[in-house]
Amino acid sequence: MRVGVVCPYSFDVPGGVQFHVRDLAEHLIGRGHEVSVLAPADDDTPVPAYVVPAGRAVPVPYNGSVARLNFGPVSAGRVRKWLGEGGFDVLHIHEPITPSLSILALWQATGPIVATFHTSTLRSRAMQAAYPVMRPSLEKISARIAVSEDARQTVTTHIGGDAVVIPNGVYVDVFARAEPAPLWQGTADAPTIAFVGRLDEPRKGLHVLCDAVPQVLRSVPGARFLIAGRGDVDAARERLDPTARAACTFLGEVSDHDKAALLRSVDVYVAPQTGGESFGIVLVEAMSAGATVLASDLDAFRRVLDDGALGVLFAVGDGAGLADSLLALLADPARRARLRAAAGVAVRRYDWSVVGAEVLEVFETVSYGAQSVAEDPQSGRFARWRRP
């Protein structure tokens, strides 16, 4: 099968959607399919061989973050050329109403189209306003995928219709088999706690973790906090008093290899996000690596952690609650071991061998022109998201 994939966000800067697109493309290529990805990127930016750069992206504030998008007549021309030369059996558009390459591709494309929705925004005036204009184009979509129940609810609330939930994928064994780094490993008296996320995006919750650090150190003075991610390190350090600052190591942006080693090494992974999360891929990565997960009680995180069966939840934005929960985990190695064991089984559902097969089944359903889907245990779940 020849698959065209449209990524709305720049490949110059890493992000969850870009990682999803990259990993899915490589999974499909590994299965023998031909894949071409169109994404914002400068022509001279190093990208994988299957990525076609569509030009420089422009940073735009969006959903509590900064999205790097590509739009305009030059971009439309590149989309038109890519579609014309592609000869795709199926076109897979991510975030189809994002004002970037995704909208441009949806406007111009014909043939089988699958759309994947990543965003969780249950109250969006922009999406509500855009829907009447986008409706004719959205009706061209043959099948819809949402990466989480929260993303599915966004679709049903703002766009109408439905979507099948197929989560983000992880190469579980890459994390499970990563070599721990001695520098990042903890001891009984000096446990290590990790955070991975953009430092200067408030919704990633680093400030919540910083508020908790002094309280943790009063009870466990040897605790070390390993903080990885892009952003202004000096500004992040300013939030900490001298004692807390000494206990925090800022690693900057880490490679995929180092992220796996970090998560494999630490005692607890903390996800203090305050909102805007539709899934929580880093939780799955941490569980795959064998780290005990402590996360804010967002709907998306609660689903990934099975209401606390696979990790511990604390109230959103509550630094004191984070500290209390972390101290309780550090004091109970047996509980951490139970949570790790349960999580290690559950994360297999998110492995690309499973997720990729589900996405491919959607592609095959729309590509081979099935006019209806039989209501049977194998295919009945797809009936509700296909275009009538």
Share of the chain above pLDDT 90, in %: 71
pLDDT band at 370 (very low <50, low <70, confident <90, very high): very low
Q: Is residue 149 part of a domain?
A: yes
Give the pLDDT score at 50. Answer: 96
Give the pLDDT score at 385. Answer: 55
16 and 41, same domain (yes or no): yes
282 and 375, same domain (yes or no): no
pTM value is: 0.88
69 and 185, same domain (yes or no): no
Q: Which domain holds residue 270?
A: 172-349
Q: Is residue 388 part of a domain?
A: no
Question: Mean pLDDT lowest for which of 60-69, 311-320, 342-351?
Answer: 60-69
301 and 356, same domain (yes or no): no
pLDDT band at 12 (very low <50, low <70, confident <90, very high): confident
Question: What is the mean pLDDT of the segment spanning 149-154?
Answer: 91
Distance CA 39, CA 21 (A): 10
Give the pLDDT score at 378. Answer: 45
178 and 65, same domain (yes or no): no
Give the pLDDT score at 5. Answer: 98
pLDDT band at 135 (very low <50, low <70, confident <90, very high): confident
Listed residue (317, 321, 294, 297) closest to 307, CA to CA: 297
- In this structure, the number of other CB atoms found within 10 A of the CB of residue 145 comes to 23
Question: Mean pLDDT lowest for which of 44-48, 134-138, 198-202, 233-237?
Answer: 134-138
Contact between 95 and 89 under an 8 Å Cβ cutoff? The reply is: no
105 and 49, same domain (yes or no): yes
Give the pLDDT score at 376. Answer: 39
Contact between 382 and 160 under an 8 Å Cβ cutoff? The reply is: no
At residue 69, does pLDDT exceed 70? Answer: no
At residue 369, does pLDDT exceed 80? Answer: no
- In this structure, the number of other CB atoms found within 10 A of the CB of residue 358 comes to 16
Residue 308: give its domain's CATH number: 3.40.50.2000
22 and 155, same domain (yes or no): yes
Give the pLDDT score at 56. Answer: 77
266 and 292, same domain (yes or no): yes
At residue 340, does pLDDT exceed 80? Answer: yes
* C-alpha separations of 259 from 43, 140, 264, 303 in Å: 28, 39, 8, 23
Could you read off the pLDDT of 166-187 as tens digits, one per residue?
999 999 999 999 999 999 999 9
Give the pLDDT score at 341. Answer: 97
Share of the chain above pLDDT 70, in %: 88
CA 110 centroid distance within chain: 28
Give the pLDDT score at 51. Answer: 95
Give the pLDDT score at 367. Answer: 86
Could you read off the pLDDT of 298-335 as tens digits, one per residue?
999 999 999 999 999 999 999 999 999 999 999 999 99
Distance CA 113, CA 360 (A): 13
Higher pLDDT, 350 or 277: 350
Q: Is residue 79 part of a domain?
A: yes
At residue 44, does pLDDT exceed 60? Answer: yes
Cα angle 256-262-268, degrees, rounded to a multiple of 5? 130
Instruction: Specify which residues 149 forms β-bridges with.
Output: none
Q: Is residue 199 part of a domain?
A: yes
- DSSP result, 143-204: EEEESSHHHHHHHHHHT-S--EE----B-HHHHHTPPPPGGG---SSS-EEEEES-TT-GGG
259 and 356, same domain (yes or no): no
Question: What is the mean pLDDT of the segment spanning 253-259?
Answer: 95
Name the residue with tokens 């204009």. Answer: 133
